[in-house]
Amino acid sequence: MQDQVSVDLYIDGRWMPAEAGETVKMIDPATEEQVGSFAQAQSKDVLKAIEAAERAFATWSKVPAWERSNLLRKAASLLAERSEQVARRITLECGKPFAQAKGEVQASVECIDWFADEARRIYGQILPGRTANSRFTATYEPVGVVAAFTAWNFPVVLQARKIAPALAAGCTIVSRPAEEGSGAVALLIKCFIDAGVPAGVVNLLTGTPQVISETVMDSDIVRKVTFTGSIPVGQHLMRRAADTVKRMSMELGGHSPVIVHEDVDPAKAAMIAAQGKFRNNGQVCVSPTRFYVHEKHKDAFTENFLAAAKAMKMGNGFEDGVEIGPLINRRRLEFIEQMVEDTKKDGGTLVMGGKRPADMNRGYFFEPTVFTDVPDDARIMNDEPFGPIAPLSTFSAFDEVIERANALPYGLAAYVFTDSLKLAQQTSQALKVGIVAVNNTAAATAEMPFGGVKHSGFGRENGSQGLLDYLDVKFTNFSF
C-alpha cells in the first residue's frame, strides 16, 4: 500500500481536492493494479487556477531575473536530491524501466538548471534612432499566464520543459500533465514549491483534458498555450486559440526516418538504431520510425537489428536489467495490435514479435516487433505507430531516399548513419525536419533547441531559443 498516492490540485499556493470531490484511479501498466488517484478538476477549479496565476503574474513578472534564476536553481537541486523518489513514481505510473526513469529525472534537472542560467540572459537590442536625439530599443517582456498540456511518455521532463522557461521569463503557469504520470509531476511541482515559488506562480490541475482545456481556451487571461501531444489535439487547440488570439507552442507527433547509408558498418548502425527504436517501447515522439537501409546492407542490418532487439530484457521496470517495460495502457496495446495486423495486410514480412509475450499474463506488454520489405504505402509508413514496431525498407540512391524521407507531413526528427561528413551534411540539409542526429539517436538535450516543422509543430523547447517562446518583444522609440 505504500505505493498509493492521492494527488490533489495545487492552486494559489495550496494543495486542495477538486471542488466536486471527484478522483480518478492511477494504474500501474506493468501489473494493472491501482497505484493511487488524482483529483478530477472541473471548470470552477480551472478558473480558480487561472485567476491565481493572473494575480501572481503582477508580482512575479517584476521579480528580478537573478532572483528567478536562484529559485530555479534551487528547484533543480531539490529535484536532483529526490531523483530516486520521482523516478520510482514514473516507473510505477508509466511502466518505464527504472534506469530510464532516472535518466528522465536527470534530463529534467538539467533543463531547469539550464533555464536558471537563461533567466539572466534575456538580451534586448539598442539601435541608433532616426534623429540625433533618439534611440530605438527592443526589450523582452513575459507573455503572461501560460497553460501547459503534456503527454505521458516523459511525464516529468515534458512539464519541466514548460515550467522552467515560463518561470525564467517571468510568466506564471497552469500545468495539466497527462493522466498517467500525474503523481510524478506532483513531485516535480513540490520541488518548485519547496524552492520558494510564491503562491499562484505554479498551479497544478489534473483530470479530464477536455474539461480543463476548454476552460483554458475560453479564457482571455491565458495568453499562451504550450502543448505536447498528438497532431489532432494540437490542431483542435490551435483552432480554439483563434478567439482569444493566444500564442502557442506545439510539440506534436513525429514519424522519424532513419537513413543508413552505404558507407557504414551495418552491425554498428543496427545496434544503435535498435537501442533508439525500443527506448521507452517506441513511445517517443522522436522515436526512429521508418528505416531506409541501403540495399547493400539489407541482410547484415536486419540480422544485427534483430539480435540487438532480442537481447533486450522485457519486464517490470523495477527488475534489474529490464530495458523494455509495458505499453502505457490497454488502449495503446490494442492500437499496436491493430497496427501489426495492418502491416501484415499491407505486405510487410513479420520477422520478429508481433504479439503479447506468452509468458506474461498481466500488464500491457508487447514484444519488440520487426517487419522487413514494408512498402511505402503501408499504413505504418504513414501513420505514427508510437510503439515498439520497426518497419524496415531499403533504398539505392540519395535523391530517392530523401524524397521518401520527406514525403510525409511530419517533420520532427531524422536519423542518419554515415562515416562521411560530407554525406552527413548533405543529408541533414536535405531533410525537412527540426532535429537530425548523425550516428546516434540522442535527439534532446537541455542546451539544444527541440521541436519540429510541418505538421510536427512549431516553437522550440530547451536551448537559448526555448525562452523566446515565453517572451513578447517591445519596441520603444525614445526621443529626448
What track of x and - describes contact with ligand NAD for positions 399 through 418 (by CB under 6 A)? -------------x------
256 binds ligand NAD (CB under 6 A): no
Told to check if 254 binds ligand NAD by CB under 6 A, we report: yes
The C-alpha atoms of residue 186 and residue 353 are separated, in whole angstroms, by 36
CB of 73 to ligand NAD, least distance (A): 25
Instruction: List the one residue from 9, 252, 269, 467 that touches ligand NAD (CB under 6 A).
Output: 252
- 276 near ligand NAD, rule: CB under 6 A: no
Among 85, 210, 235, 338, which residue sits at the site for ligand NAD (rule: CB under 6 A)? 210
Closer Cβ to ligand NAD, 95 or 170, answer by number: 95
d(CA 188, CA 198) in angstroms, rounded, equals 16
Q: Are 259 and 269 in contact (CB under 8 A)?
A: no
- The minimum distance between CB 331 and ligand NAD, in angstroms, equals 9
Over the window 447 to 466, marking each residue x when it contacts ligand NAD by CB under 6 A and - when it does not, the resulting string is -----x--------------
Which residue is it, cell 561528413? Answer: 421
Q: Which is nearer to ligand NAD, 182 or 427 (CB)?
A: 182
Q: Is residue 350 a contact partner of residue 301, using CB atoms and an 8 Å limit?
A: no
- Report in angstroms how near the CB of residue 305 gets to ligand NAD at its nearest: 22
State which residue, 28 or 179, has the beta carbon closest to ligand NAD.
179
CB proximity list for 422: less than 8 A, separation 6 or greater = none
| 95, 165, 200, 253: residue in contact with ligand NAD (rule CB under 6 A) | 253
- State in angstroms the smallest separation of the CB of 57 from ligand NAD: 22
β-pair type (23-27, 34-39): antiparallel
| Segment interacting with ligand NAD (CB under 6 A) among 70-78, 112-120, 230-238, 336-344 | 230-238
What is the C-alpha separation between 103 and 87, in angstroms, rounded?
8
Distance in angstroms (rounded) separating the CA atoms of residues 224 and 173: 9
Cα–Cα distance, 406 to 237 (Å, whole number): 26
Question: Rounded to whole angstroms, how far apart are CA atoms 89 and 269?
Answer: 33
Q: Is 356 helix (H, G, I), strand (E, B) or coil?
A: coil
| 251 has catalytic annotation | yes
Span of 27-35, 163-171, 252-260, 368-376 interacting with ligand NAD by CB under 6 A: 252-260
Instruction: Select from 19-27, 58-66, 205-213, 300-308 the region that touches ligand NAD (CB under 6 A).
Output: 205-213
* In the complex, residue closest to ligand NAD by CB: 229
Map grid coordinates 522522436 to a residue: 286
Asked if residue 386 binds ligand NAD (CB under 6 A), the reply is: yes
* Amino acid identity for residue 196 in this structure: G
Among 149, 192, 417, 470, binds ligand NAD (CB under 6 A): 149
Short-list 115, 411, 105, CA closest to 285: 411
Give the whole-angstrom CA distance, residue 420 versus residue 232. Answer: 38
Dist CA 241 CA 247 (whole Å): 8
Smallest distance from the beta carbon of 253 to ligand NAD, in angstroms?
3
Examine residue 185 and tell whether it contacts ligand NAD (CB under 6 A).
no
Q: How many residues bind ligand NAD (CB under 6 A)?
A: 24
d(CA 59, CA 55): 8
Indicate if 94 belongs to the active site.
no
List the one residue from 17, 129, 198, 209 that touches ligand NAD (CB under 6 A): 209
Rounded CA gap, 224 and 144, in Å? 7
Q: Which stretch binds ligand NAD (CB under 6 A): 16-24, 228-236, 264-272, 303-311?
A: 228-236
CB-nearer residue toward ligand NAD: 60 or 115: 115
229 is a site residue for ligand NAD (CB under 6 A): yes
Among 111, 285, 367, 461, the active-site one is 285
Helix axes 83-94 and 155-169, enclosed angle (nearest 10): 130
Cα 307 to chain centroid, rounded: 29
Tell me if 153 contacts ligand NAD by CB under 6 A: yes
Name the helix (H) or strand (E) containing 126. Answer: strand 125-128
Exposed (0-12), middle (13-18) or buried (19+): which is 480, by Cβ within 10 Å? exposed
Please, what is the minimum distance in Å from the beta carbon of residue 228 to ligand NAD?
5
Angle CA 79–50–176, to nearest 5: 45
Residue found by looking up cell 512539464 in the block: 159
Q: Within 81-120, which residues bind ligand NAD (CB under 6 A)?
A: none
Mind telling me the catalytic residues? 251, 285
- Interacting residues with ligand NAD (CB under 6 A): 149-153, 178-179, 209-210, 213, 228-230, 233, 236, 251-254, 285, 384, 386, 412, 452
